[in-house]
Structures are given as C-alpha cells and as structure tokens.
Chain A
C-alpha cells in the first residue's frame, strides 16, 4: 500500500517536469544504494519490468535458454499474479479464485531469476538503469518492459481511480475482480448491472463480452429478473455474431446493448448516486463496471518511449522500442500492428523478444520472428468459442497472415471441446510463464 502511494505521488509530481530532469534526480538519490546491483561478474544483465504474460515469459525464456549466461532480474510489485485471463470465469463461478493466482517461486528456484518485488518508477536510458520505488536501482544491458495497461484519465466523465471501489473496472485482476463479483451477488432482485465498455484499442477485445456472458450466467440462476445494460462507444465488437447468438440462446431478454448510434459513446457516471447518464438520460443502476479507455502501463511513458496515443511503438522483428534499441516492449503496452492485446499475444511476443535478447547478448542463433494468438471465450456452460490467427514480422509491423473463428450453429460437442481446449490452454500458458 505504501509503495503504491509512493508511486502515485511521484507520478503526480512528474507531470509538470521534463522527463530527464525528473529521472536525473531520482537516480542521483538512489545511486548510493545501487552498488550491489552492479556485481554481475561480467555477465550481461537483463532487467524485466512487469511479471505478467509478457514479462514472466520473457524472463523465463531468457534465463532458461541462456543457461545462466545472462543475469535476469524481474521487477514486479505483487507476490501473486492474478491473471485477467479466466478472471471472467471466476465471476461466472466456473473457476475458484485461487486457481487464477500464480507465485513467482519457480522462476527464482528453477531458473535462477532474481525476482524483486517492487515498482519500477524511473528509467534512465543514458545510464541504462531502472529506479525502484523502494530505493536503489538496477542497471541493464537490455530492458524488457511489459507493464500492461493503465487507464486514460478522464475517458469516462465522473469516473477516476478513486471511484474504483464503487464502480470497479476489474480490468486488472485481483481484488477488483473479487469486488465486482461480490457486487453482482449483492444486486437486489430484478436489479440492473451496467457495463461501460471501452473504446478501441484495449486489452482482450472479447473480454468485456465474455464478462457479460458470465454475469448473465450468474444472474440467470440467482436473480433471473435482473437486467444487463452495456453502454458501448464502439459500433462493432469482437466475436459479435457468436456472442449475440449465444446471448439469444442462453439469456434471451436479459441483455441490452446501447451502441454509439443511441448515445453509447456519450456516457457519464455518478458513482455517489449509482447513476449512469447516457446521452443525457439518467439510469439508476445497482452494479456498475466501468472499463475506461486504456494506454500503456505508466512506466512506458515515464521511459519516454510512448506515442501520442499512449502506446510504445516497436520493431516487429525483435520487439525493440522504436525510440531505444536497448528497450524491448511486450504485450498490451506495445504498439506492434495487427495482434490483439491478449495474454496469448504477449506470451508469443515474449519468445521472439527472448530470442532476440539472447542473440544480442550471447551471440546465440536468431531465427525469423513468428507470432500467433488464439482467444477462447466462454458464453455459457460448456459453450466455448475461439478466434485465432498467425502473424509474421514485416519492417512496418506485426502483420496478420491467416486466421480462423468459431461459427454459429456448431454442435454442442464442438463447443464443449472448445471449452476443454481453453482449460488446457490456461494450464499450458501458466506453466509457460511461471515454470
């Protein structure tokens, strides 16, 4: 808690200052403490910031495949990573909360990764060092940033982070997800659940709509006269045909979506009164899930490698920042081209990055980059769907080469098999990230 506040303060203080000046003072203040980090015995040093889908995978692959030739430090504030993937299934009652939590123990024990539980708060690109909230700094030969997302301030009028307990986003998993589930369970009979959906681009394009399915699944059993309202600034959304078909089959009459043609893009929330104002019209709601517009995790902007849209552009072949070749950016924070912001994508990008980093630091072989993604969504019990694609690196971007998507009208067996695949995928990607 203290650390978090420390970071917030620094972030606020940072607003008016130039990046370099701000960084210079932080680094100077912590320089005395940083001496131990320099004991690398000549081994090249990699610092990974963020122990999620991108960062944990990159750290594990670099350490594992370099067999000790590279000194890998992972900076991640939380001791247990609660994945956003499958957090909707927790909301729907298909997963236990504990089953989506993962520790960093094996990364340290099996791969010799130095796991530092702290926030990175500054990056000095000239000195190649990362400042930590707890004091001290880490120097690097290559830096990997995979900090996920932060929310764009002011994107939903009436909402800011101080309101996240009344109107949770549940778009970074953990206590927020638990809170949202509790609020859904506490809804009065026949009450209204409202989701304010985000504009593009955002993490996990089918995520909000899978969540709607899971909320409907819970309410249909516990509170069948309840209503679900989606306020959406987007005209279209991912797997739309599949979701709408599934909602019709499982939750007929329960879900209403207000798109931009009916003012879904003109929304204001009033957390105190539990009201949502859509194009001037006030609606009283009982649970409200606000998913604001997104941008790269704040540390990417602090490093000065983000563009006007708030994302960090990268070179597709290596995932190197276009602004600094010593920094690689993975996952949601990167602007890479055609891949959706997903855990699968971040994991896929991390492997390309790990190969490039090892190649640069140890001279190991470097092969052509290739990427892939598949996103499963659960619509109802045993009713799973998926969308997937493969990608290659071009000089311009990560470019889609081919893809597939589930179809409406598939048999119940196919849908059940698809759901079972997703369970095994979750086990596999968790193992791939955390060992």
Chain B
C-alpha cells in the first residue's frame, strides 16, 4: 500500500479502526479528497506534466493524447474518434479498464503496462504524486455537473510566438518530402523513450513545438538544428503531413 498507510503498521488494531472511521467520515465530508490523504489541489498542479498533451474539463478535446474526461471506468483505447496506437487499442479489447489501480500502474511506467504505447511520457516515480494526480483526475469522471473549462495544451503566447504562425496553411505534399528527414529518428507511429512519437498531432501543437525549437525556446541540439532551418511554411507543411500520418503496423 501507500507509504502513508505503512505509518500505521505498528499501532493497535483499534487505533487503526478509529483512524479508518475518521478517514471515511472525512472522505464523505470532503469530496475533493479522492482517497485517504491524497491532495487533489496538488494533483491539479501535477497535471501540468500531462497538460501539454491532454485536456480535461468542459469542452475538452482530443489533442496529442485523448481527452481525459470520464477516464475512470472506461476501457483503454476506447474513444472512437481518437487515433490510438494499435497497442493501446489491443490493451482495451484485451480487457484493460482504467481504474485507480490500473491508472496508477500506467502512470508509474506507461510502457511497462502498455508496451509500444504512443504516449511519450517516462512516468511518475513517486506514489504520492500519482495518488494526488489521480485524485484530481477522478473529479472529471462520473456524474459531474459543472466541470471547470478545459485548458489548452499549448499556446503560442506560452513561447512568445506570433499566433499568426498557427494559421499558415501547409502543403502536405511538401510536408511528405520534408518528413523524410524526420523519420530517420522519429519512427512513424513508433514510441520511444529517447525520441518521442510525433504522428497524429493537432497542427497547432505541432507548429508550436517546432517553432519553439526553431527560436531556442525549447532546447535540444538535434531538434534545434532540424527546426532551425525550417521556414514557417515548411513547419506548416510538416504539421499538415504528420497530422494525418499513419501508424506503422
């Protein structure tokens, strides 16, 4: 169990029972606390790690990853209008249902639970962090009347970019040629720990990421070199190509 509950291990059974009762009462009183001791407010802050790919809340849409409303209780890879990796879909049809326990396992090491998932995220090592995050995420599942509005995954302003960069119409045919440079490192539909997946991204997120490298707002020598010589039109062309690029079987 959790690090916190082991603190009770030495106490008498009656003490534990009393604490258990108290916990139950607290839980009933404070719906914001998803489980004993977890802190949904902290969880909200921890969700920043997920926010560049996922939305949750009213009006949430699929971005780089699927929206996370009502994730508790749903089968993995089951939202019809999101293009999951074959691995995530297979996990769902194979019986993987998202619960507190399975989500905890997924977030601790995504590829251990779903090998070849396209989610490029290393995992959260601290169990307490995962619990807080899940406590917060649980608030977006079940009969919830009023969700706070979903926050955007990435904005041009965040990187001090001109929002007009997002409205350039890219030529997918040119993008397909330019993509040849990328697929030597980014396996199409692949998922790596060292080199992330970039297929199926919404154009805005894609353009923002590449512009951020190009302008040195995101730092990585290889990506800065690659993006540094791409024109705004070429970045738009690549975004158009990778938005629709298929998964490799």
Contact = CB atoms under 8 A, between A and B. Distances in A.
A300 B187 CA distance: 32
A372 interface: yes
A403 B195 CA distance: 19
Contact of B192 (A365, A389, A402, A423): A423
B180 A351 contact: yes
B190 A390 contact: no
Contacts of A428: 183-187, 190, 192, 195
Nearest to A366: B177
Contacts, number: 92
Contact of B225 (A344, A389, A427): A389
A374 B185 CA distance: 9
A54 B225 CA distance: 23
A336 B147 CA distance: 60
Nearest to B173: A365
Given A351-B180, A367-B177, A386-B222, A421 B195 contact: yes
A404 B225 contact: yes
Interface in A404-435: 404, 417-425, 427-429, 431-432
Nearest to A351: B180
Interface residues of B, number: 26
B184 A424 contact: no
B185 A423 contact: no
B87 to A, nearest CB: 14
Contacts of A402: 225, 228-229
B221 interface: yes
Contacts of A420: 192-194
A188 B178 CA distance: 52
A348 interface: yes
A388 interface: yes
A390 B226 contact: yes
Contact of B194 (A370, A390, A424): A424
A355 B177 contact: yes
A315 B181 CA distance: 20
B229 A390 contact: yes
B184 A347 contact: yes
A401 interface: yes
Interface in B17-52: none
Given A355-B177, A390-B229, A427 B192 contact: yes
Interface in A375-405: 386, 388-390, 401-404
Contact of B183 (A374, A418, A432): A432
Interface of A: 61, 65, 344, 347-348, 351, 355, 365, 367, 370, 372, 374, 386, 388-390, 401-404, 417-425, 427-429, 431-432
Interface of B: 173-174, 176-178, 180-181, 183-188, 190, 192-195, 221-222, 224-226, 228-229, 248
